[in-house]
């Protein structure tokens, strides 16, 4: 057995905080509002948290630890196709970080979530609530975004569903991805294709910049 430290502590906190904030933003729309007095405001505030978390993650994807970076997990179409073939043969090539298909899925999820949170800033429900940027690019723009916000939310649900299916498939093949997102460590019987020899050490300056940018983004919109 070979243990690889894959997910640094910031990626793990980011991941579970994102799950909580996205769940809250959906929940506040799907109920009659209980237990919240103004569910649309909680919806928006959860969205500001998503925006802050994504700000952190976009920076971390370029300046973070090895496995958190795009260059570690966005692979060529050829590598992605050969990984897909290994998956169909039920003998997937082991990857420590995101596998080639998972890597592209992560990028699409980040883009879709970013669009969702940013578009929300321009919306109004015409009754109780207007986002902080509502009308700033014209009411017609805000009105057009309403249907894109709704459509992309459905796309997001499909992506989240696929994410859960992928986790279940990997669990059936003996890979415990959820546990790794808590502990940061994955264990392998074969050496992963993307194994590296260096340890995962936090680059302190980029960590501070990414965390402050993320918190700043959330707080900025929260205070509007």
Which spans of this chain sit near ligand HEM (rule: CB under 6 A)? Answer: 22, 25-26, 29, 40, 43-44, 47-48, 50, 113, 116-117, 120-121, 123-125, 129, 131, 146, 149-150, 153, 156
Least Å distance, CB 157 to ligand HEM, is 8
As given in the structure block, the two tokens for residue 129 are 């609530």
User: Of the candidates 95, 22, 87, 100, which has an alpha carbon nearest to the alpha carbon of residue 54?
Assistant: 22
Give every CB contact of residue 196 below 8 A, 6+ residues apart in sequence: 66, 96
Supply the minimum distance, in Å, between the C-beta of residue 83 and ligand HEM.
Answer: 29
> What values do phi and psi take at 5, rounded to 5?
-80, 110
Q: Can you tell me the distance from the alpha carbon of 6 to that of 11, in angstroms, rounded to the nearest whole number?
A: 10
**Toward ligand HEM, which CB reaches closer, 37 or 205?**
37
Least distance to ligand HEM, CB of residue 54, Å: 9
Q: What angle do CA 30, 36, 37 make, to 5 degrees?
A: 115
Q: Which is nearer to ligand HEM, 17 or 169 (CB)?
A: 17
Contacts of 133 (CB under 8 A, 6+ apart): 121, 122
For ligand HEM, the closer of residues 49 and 59 by Cβ is 49
Q: Which is nearer to ligand HEM, 10 or 22 (CB)?
A: 22
Least gap, CB of 204 to ligand HEM (angstroms): 29
Least distance between ligand HEM and beta carbon 33 (Å): 13
CA triple 8-119-28, angle to 5 deg: 75
Residue 84 or 160 with smaller CB distance to ligand HEM: 160
Greatest distance between any 2 Cα atoms in the chain: 59
């Amino acid at each position: 057995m070979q243990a690889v430290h894959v997910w640094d502590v910031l990626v793990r906190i980011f991941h579970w905080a994102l799950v909580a904030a996205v769940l809250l933003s959906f929940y506040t729309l799907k109920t009659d509002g209980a237990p919240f007095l103004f569910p649309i405001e909680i919806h928006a505030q959860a969205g500001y948290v998503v925006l802050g978390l994504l700000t952190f993650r976009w920076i971390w994807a370029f300046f973070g630890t090895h496995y958190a970076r795009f260059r570690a997990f966005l692979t060529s179409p050829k590598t992605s196709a050969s990984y897909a073939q290994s998956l169909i043969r039920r003998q997937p090539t082991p990857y420590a970080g995101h596998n080639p298909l998972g890597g592209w899925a992560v990028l699409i999820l980040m883009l879709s979530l970013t669009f969702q949170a940013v578009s929300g800033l321009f919306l109004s429900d015409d009754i109780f609530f207007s986002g902080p940027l509502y009308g700033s690019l014209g009411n017609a723009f805000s009105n057009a975004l309403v249907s894109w916000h709704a459509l992309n939310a459905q796309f997001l649900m499909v992506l989240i569903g696929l994410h859960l299916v992928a986790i279940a498939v990997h669990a059936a093949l003996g890979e415990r991805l959820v546990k790794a997102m808590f502990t940061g460590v994955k264990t392998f019987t074969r050496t992963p294709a993307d194994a590296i020899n260096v340890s995962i050490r936090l680059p302190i300056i980029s960590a501070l910049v990414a965390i402050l940018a993320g918190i700043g983004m959330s707080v900025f919109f929260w205070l509007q």
